[in-house]
Amino acid sequence: MVYLQAFASAVIALYVGGSDQTATSIYVSPNGNDLNSGTAAEPFRTLGRARDAVRAIKHRERLMRPIEVRLHGGVYRPERTLTLLTQDSGSTGAPIRFCAVPGETPVITGGRVIGGWQPLADKPAGVSELAKGKLWFADIPKGWRFHTLFVDGKGMQRAQMSSDFWRRWPKAFTPGPPEKAGQLLTFRDKGILKNLPSNGDVEMVCILAQYGVMGNGVLTDIDPARGTARWNSHQLELDFKGWSRSESERGFNLENGLPFLNKPGEWCVDSESGRVYLWPLSPSMKNHVVTAPKLYELVRIQGDETHSQPVHDVEFRGITFTCTDRLPENEWPHDWLKRQWEHVDAAVYVQCARDCSFSDNRILDSGASGITLNHFAQRIGVVGNEIGWPGSDGIFLEGYGPGMLDVNRSNTVRRNWIHDVGQGNYWHSASIQIYQSANNQIELNLLQRSAYCAVSIVGASPADIGDPRHFFPHPDAPQFDPWNTYNIRWQDFPKDVQASIREGRSHLYDRESAKPYLHSNGNLLTDNIVVEPEMLLDEGGAIYAWCPGKGNVWADNLIFKSSGMPGSSILALDDMAEYFTVSRNVIWVEGQAACGTIGVRPSERGNVIFGNVRACYKPEFADGDAGNLNGIEHGFYINDPSRAPVYRMLASITDQVKREGGWLGSPAVGIPRPGEKVTPVNKKVSGSPDHKTIEPAKP
């Protein structure tokens, strides 16, 4: 009864007395109380409570002015994801706005503090000789299995079998056929399985090809005597014949096992016994704050796709979102798109929405992607944010699979600082990933240190669209379902095509007949700065396209890398990347690009490429362009030995960014000035102990 009375009082108070003349305001504070009225003097404590108050106001009155949920500074640790449904929409000119109180820093975290640390006195089976006497432990709720751990805001390395770069990982294992119980793996070195739990705590990071065919399968049924374990993943079936061209291109690493904990800064979790172990960087754990993620998403905007009722006119401003986990691959839903070894979930997940915006926010240390705009997403603005250290992509624009639903389009990604992507062992991740999404404007972004490409614009292979193995969903598939790689909307295709494929006959789509079903078209990528792409994978390109639609534009972008690109072009127009305009981009790559400065398949049609510059050019860089039929002799670019084009474009872009308010966090761009040395990239496996997470300032 007290709750209902407080709720009614809040509705009346908020309707009568907004915080100013333009908006009705609801206040939230970490020190508030959900039994309060929600006014400035009596703030609520949770965003869920504030959302319910907004619903009550909307139900009572049709307001023609914005409603603001104002967050005071401090740390919010929600118990569940803030979910906004169609009923939580605003209206044109009167949005629902979640924003920081001016001058304050609200931090919404999915992390939980882990306390009660003690030196490890007993010696659990498997503790290495190096670790004995060095480990600390803490009790946690049984069943809590997380994938990242932070000490004083700094990310620690999850215990791993090998700390080498992935090309030097061990390779000697044999996969059996996929089964419901998991794909049986046989390891040549049986000893690596000794003292590992079989409950799914251990993951096997496996990379099958240098262009990023990789997964994080959960291991169960571990049998050291036989040297076997079962790989459990709804994302990837281990198949050497289908993926790996040679043994040198595949390798595996085991993570989160007590026997692998053998150096300072490493940790592992035992969810069955409810313990987490850590070899701290300092001799004692006293006065240190340890956190681990509990939630997978912090905000979900979820419209009604079935009835085509999107959430609309909702804004988020000035909020820090941090510390989320990633769903293990054996728990991925059947209908998730599993396009190319990325994680589709996100700290901020938007599905079926229009006319919403995210501005001046920080999204840090997400277990999966930073922001995903999924399926129906139109006129969404992602402007002026920092997205740092995501487990997968920075921003993922992900429409429907091949078919006739062309409804992910006309979004704006502008003036964001996106950096250090792919931290969750999803190295095929891009700073900005575009799949089946059209007419988006990608402008004035600073894209630093991507695991793979900085920007990737892709569709689906025509050969796969008509393939019976990929066309229809197979929910009873043993583990990985090939349909999930594209989520083809089979019901959108002609009836005779459906019938033919049902009978097991492939329908041969070609580059032209497939295009009506491919919607990554008309995207404008301009005035962006790309710094140090391909930090972990050697293939792809700084900016990349594969099997998209028509009419994409890459213009006036600046690209810098302090080493070569041994497995790719710098600007890569891969299979069936046609009808592109690639113009006036400036490239400074200190080394060879194995497939050319601008790589174009000789068979592609309609591309217009002109005015590009390979700056700081040296004669020894020419080998990558030798034999490239679409290289310098076609006028696609010119070589310039000076830095002048770099600094002209750098000044042009940064001046415009400054006029619009700068990049949040005021980052250093990372392009050497005259007299500064070009430092070679030091490639590291994701999550090394020197992965520096900038913890939000404590209010």
Cβ–Cβ under 8 Å, residues 638 and 614: yes
Q: Is 635 helix (H, G, I), strand (E, B) or coil?
A: coil
CA 111, 117, 119, 122: dihedral to nearest 10 degrees? -80
pLDDT of residue 630: 53
Domain coordinates in residue numbering, the chain:
113-292, 463-517
Instruction: Kindly report, residue by residue over 258-268, the tens digit of the pLDDT.
Output: 999 999 999 99
Beta-carbon neighbour count of residue 551 at 10 Å?
16
**Counts of helices then strands in the chain (DSSP H, E):** 7, 51
| Mean per-residue pLDDT over the chain, rounded | 90
pLDDT of residue 7: 37
Distance CA 587, CA 613 (A): 6
User: In what helix (H) or strand (E) does residue 489 lie, and over which residues does it extend?
Assistant: none
Confidence band (pLDDT; 50, 70, 90) for 697? very low
Mean pLDDT of 456-462: 95
Instruction: Kindly report, residue by residue over 149-196, the tens digit of the pLDDT.
Output: 999 999 999 999 999 888 899 999 999 998 989 999 999 999 999 999
Instruction: Kindly report, residue by residue over 85-113, the tens digit of the pLDDT.
Output: 999 999 998 999 999 999 999 999 999 99
Instruction: Kindly report, residue by residue over 353-383, the tens digit of the pLDDT.
Output: 999 999 999 999 999 999 999 999 999 999 9
Distance CA 557, CA 564 (A): 18
Cβ–Cβ under 8 Å, residues 592 and 621: yes
Statement: residue 202 has pLDDT above 60: yes
pLDDT of residue 20: 43
pLDDT of residue 1: 37
Closest alpha carbon to 345 in 367, 364, 365, 362: 367
pLDDT of residue 623: 66
Q: Which residues pair with 269 in a beta bridge?
A: 276
Mean pLDDT of 510-526: 96
Among the residue ranges 160-169, 395-404, 614-623, 629-638, the one predicted with the least confidence is: 629-638
pLDDT of residue 632: 64
Percent of the chain with pLDDT over 90: 77
Confidence band (pLDDT; 50, 70, 90) for 122? confident
Statement: residue 476 has pLDDT above 90: no
CA 497, 501, 505, 507: dihedral to nearest 10 degrees? 40
Distance CA 607, CA 553 (A): 10
Statement: residue 279 has pLDDT above 80: yes
Confidence band (pLDDT; 50, 70, 90) for 235? very high
Q: Judge if pTM exceeds 0.75.
A: yes
Instruction: Kindly report, residue by residue over 300-323, the tens digit of the pLDDT.
Output: 999 999 999 999 999 999 999 999
Mean pLDDT of 550-574: 94
Confidence band (pLDDT; 50, 70, 90) for 622? confident
pLDDT of residue 282: 93
Closest alpha carbon to 534 in 576, 594, 612, 486: 594
Distance CA 585, CA 591 (A): 18
pLDDT of residue 329: 96
Q: Name all contacts of 216-220 with Cβ < 8 Å and 24+ positions apart.
A: 216/328, 216/329, 216/424, 216/425, 216/426, 217/183, 217/329, 217/330, 218/328, 218/329, 218/330, 219/254, 220/182
Among the residue ranges 309-318, 342-351, 505-514, 615-624, the one predicted with the least confidence is: 615-624
Q: Phi then psi for 624, rounded to 5 degrees?
A: -65, -25
User: In what helix (H) or strand (E) does residue 280 lie, and over which residues does it extend?
Assistant: none
Distance CA 352, CA 306 (A): 10
Tokens of 241: 């014949």
Mean pLDDT of 324-350: 93
Instruction: Kindly report, residue by residue over 395-416, the tens digit of the pLDDT.
Output: 999 999 999 999 999 999 999 9
Statement: residue 5 has pLDDT above 60: no
Statement: residue 691 has pLDDT above 60: no
Cβ–Cβ under 8 Å, residues 235 and 341: yes
Mean pLDDT of 29-46: 97
